[in-house]
Amino acid sequence: MKLEPRMVPKPIWGVALRTSLKSRWLPEVSRPVRNHAMVCEVCGGRGHCRRSRWRLCCDEVWDYSDADPVVSALIEMVGADLTAADLTAIEGAVPLIRPVAFSLLDAPPVARLTDLQAICWDCNAMIHFGHTESTAKVKGWAGVEPVVSHAARVNGVPVDAMVQRIIYAKAAWLIRSHVPGWTITWDGWESIRDRKAGRSA
Ligand SMILES: [Zn+2]
């Protein structure tokens, strides 16, 4: 699926290129990337960003792949067809998950900045679904239905399949949030920015 949640593991909440660059973020990264893209890189829409006057938001794409063996193994233990009840079970198993997570890791997990993309508010709301859900003005399904429907349309799947994918992503997030010892790297962000701002040859 090209549009699905990519929720930031809890131990590294707040760690971002944006927060690190502070006042340099807007002129050096966000604005050049958004200006070059013109339309949302995920859905192709013209976009509108509810948090600012801009049409598009600049999204940091992070890869948490070094934790994937842990996530896959634990989800396999619970079963691939996850339900909302399984999420509660995973949450309850947190004290058990920690030692298992340790034993499955060959090396400390790495969070790596892999891309910068200009996206519309609806795509951004699906990528950061946990935040969207917790800050929605209307609680429950009604508050998130437009975002889920948008993602289902973009991916060309039924809404039910999108809901299932969100449950999977939440399970992955719960597990990743209990993986210890993250290393964070945004090495090479300047070349990513140059490429996405149309500056490279
Ligand atoms: Zn979009």
Closest CA to 64 of 167, 173, 195, 192: 173
pLDDT value of residue 93: 72
CA of residue 151 to ligand 1 center, whole Å: 9
CA of residue 55 to ligand 1 center, whole Å: 10
In angstroms, how far apart are the furthest CA atoms of the chain? 51
Query: Is 2 among the domain residues?
Result: no
Mean pLDDT within 21-34: 96
CB 98 within 8 A of CB 181: no
CA of residue 121 to ligand 1 center, whole Å: 7
Query: Is 187 among the domain residues?
Result: yes
Query: Is 4 among the domain residues?
Result: no
C-alpha 108, offset from chain centre: 20
Which ranges of the chain would DSSP assign to H, the alpha helix? 17-21, 25, 31-37, 68-78, 84-92, 94-104, 121-127, 129-135, 141-155, 159-176, 189-196
Query: Is 5 among the domain residues?
Result: no
pLDDT value of residue 49: 67
CA of residue 42 to ligand 1 center, whole Å: 5
Closest CA to 69 of 186, 182, 183, 179: 179
Q: What mean pLDDT is reported for the chain?
A: 87
Query: Is 118 among the domain residues?
Result: yes
CB 169 within 8 A of CB 130: no
pLDDT value of residue 22: 97
CA of residue 1 to ligand 1 center, whole Å: 14
pLDDT value of residue 161: 93
The reported pTM is: 0.87
Structural domain range at position 134: 10-196
CA of residue 148 to ligand 1 center, whole Å: 12
CA of residue 136 to ligand 1 center, whole Å: 19
Query: Is 139 among the domain residues?
Result: yes
> Residues 148-188: pLDDT tens digits?
999 999 999 999 999 989 988 888 888 888 887 889 999 99
Mean pLDDT within 127-151: 93
CA of residue 5 to ligand 1 center, whole Å: 13
CA of residue 73 to ligand 1 center, whole Å: 32
Query: Is 158 among the domain residues?
Result: yes
Query: Is 64 among the domain residues?
Result: yes
CA of residue 43 to ligand 1 center, whole Å: 4
As for how many domains the chain has, the answer is 1
CA of residue 105 to ligand 1 center, whole Å: 34
CA of residue 143 to ligand 1 center, whole Å: 18
> Residues 47-91: pLDDT tens digits?
776 666 678 999 999 998 766 777 777 777 776 677 878 788 777
CB 41 within 8 A of CB 118: yes
Closest CA to 7 of 75, 61, 84: 61
